[in-house]
Amino acid sequence: QGLPPPFLRDALQAVFVCLQATAQSSRGMSSTAPAPTEPYGRAQYCRWPCECPRAPPRCAAGVSLVTDGCACCKACAKQRGESCTEADTCDFHRGLYCDYSRDRPRYEIGVCAQIVGVGCVLNGVRYKNGETFQPNCKYNCTCINGAVGCVPMCTNSRPPLVWCPNPKLIKMAGKCCEQWICDDSRKIRKTSPRHISSAAYEGEDEAWQKNCIVHTSPWSPCSKTCGLGISTRISNDNQQCRLLKESRLCNMRPCEVDITQHIKPGKKCLAVYRANEPMNYTISGCVSKIPYRPKYCGVCTDNRCCTPYKSKTIEVRFQCPDGTEFSWKIMWINACFCNLNCRNPNDIFADLAHYYDYSEIAN
């Protein structure tokens, strides 16, 4: 047969070299290809069926109480810069969202960030979206995408109920927040009615005593919602005209009695509860010398709470096992009323319309 011509041998050799290079390139690519990634586990933050506490949490002022991301329970919304998950949602009332960009590729734990939005103008001053500011000493406000939401700094922004027929809001010297007084055109008596706190009259209910203006503050709320607690006040009604702290025992309602069982059918509240049998007060093993049948504030099955509005202070004599005796002042409840003032709204936009001095936000 003989050998092929020289030009044919060169052509075959070039084809062989080309095929060999292609095969080597294919082997090299297959050897450097990345190995398949291992699937990562993503934490499960929601559990069904839902298991929620009996009472919702109490959130700080200005922090929204929202339904969690699992659509299960009420929770305090996460604020700017705090961690968030599918369960822990950010405060959308403040224009926040959960930014997962730093947690790639899991996208499991994020950070609450501000949604880009328009700013606000209040009283000629422009504020950025998400900015918190105080236009005056009475309000702490936040700009949310063109809307302004404010939290009142003055907690006594509503007039007293029932016990004050003619409430009046007045400005007190040296104080930012205005105070409610009972506007009584008649001459104020030296001693106000037992069920009206002295603070209701503020500067009007003052008596002169040897170049001393006598002033007594109202009794503080009872330290316990049930069982024996302490209530205090400040008074200078003494010979030295010195401000002294006075204390008295108080018992809003018994802890061991289920008052809801005494609510009449069709009703949601029982304003006043009174036991059938008299009882003795007991302090550290010492028992009152005579029995009493006190009244207590009742309870409601809705969102209302019952608080005393008519009360007085009595002095009870106690006798101890060792024979010694002592006296204690005790709050004696005459009447209670049930109201919604115990509510603590967490939505900073919810109650603005109910504040009588809302127009002063922009002043």
Summarize pLDDT for 295-351 with one digit per residue, the tens: 999 998 888 888 888 889 999 999 999 989 999 999 999 988 888 766 443 444 444
Instruction: Give residue-wise pLDDT tens across range 248-283.
Output: 999 999 888 898 888 888 888 888 999 888 999 988
Under 8 Å between Cβ of 236 and 215: yes
Region 183-203: mean pLDDT is: 42
Mean pLDDT of the chain: 76
Cis peptide before 265 (omega within 30 of 0): no
Residue 186: per-residue pLDDT: 44
The pLDDT, as a whole number, for residue 144 is 78
Q: Read off the pLDDT band of 293 (50, 70, 90).
A: very high
Q: What is the pTM of this model?
A: 0.40
> What angle (nearest 5°) sits at the alpha carbon of residue 98, between those of residues 92 and 104?
170
pLDDT (0 to 100) of residue 350: 40
- In tens, the pLDDT along 144-173 reads 777 888 887 776 556 655 456 567 777 777
Q: How far apart are CA 255 and CA 261, in angstroms?
A: 14
Locate 291 and state its tokens.
């029995």
Residue 173 makes CB contacts below 8 A (sequence gap 6+) with none
Report pLDDT for 149.
Answer: 80
Max mean pLDDT range (24-28, 42-46, 55-59, 201-205): 55-59
Separation of first and last alpha carbons in the chain: 113
Instruction: Decide if pLDDT at 35 tops 90.
Output: no
Spatial separation of the C-alpha atoms in residues 112 and 124, rounded to whole Å:
30
- What's the length of the chain? 363
Percent of the chain with pLDDT over 70: 71
Q: Could you tell me which of 256, 320, 265 has the C-alpha nearest to residue 288?
A: 320
Of the two residues 225 and 41, the one the predictor is more confident about is 225
* % of the chain surpassing 90 pLDDT: 18
CATH, range 120-152:
2.10.70
**Which CATH topology does 227-339 take?**
Cystine Knot Cytokines, subunit B (2.10.90)
Q: Which pair of tokens denotes residue 84?
A: 């968030």
Residue 63 pLDDT greater than 60, yes or no: yes
Q: C-alpha 109: how far from its chain's center?
A: 26
For the chain, the domains span 65-114, 120-152, 156-184, 227-339
What is the per-residue pLDDT for 145?
75
Q: Report whether pLDDT(139) > 50.
A: yes
Q: How confident is the model at residue 34 (pLDDT cuts 50, 70, 90)?
A: low
CB 317: neighbour CB atoms within 10 A?
A: 13
- pLDDT tier, 20 (very low <50, low <70, confident <90, very high otherwise): low
H helix intervals, the chain: 6-32
Under the banding of pLDDT at 50, 70 and 90, the label for residue 289 is very high
The answer, yes or no, to whether residue 85 has pLDDT greater than 70, is: yes
pLDDT of residue 176: 83
- Between CA 118 and CA 178 the distance in angstroms is 34
Residue 119 pLDDT > 90: no
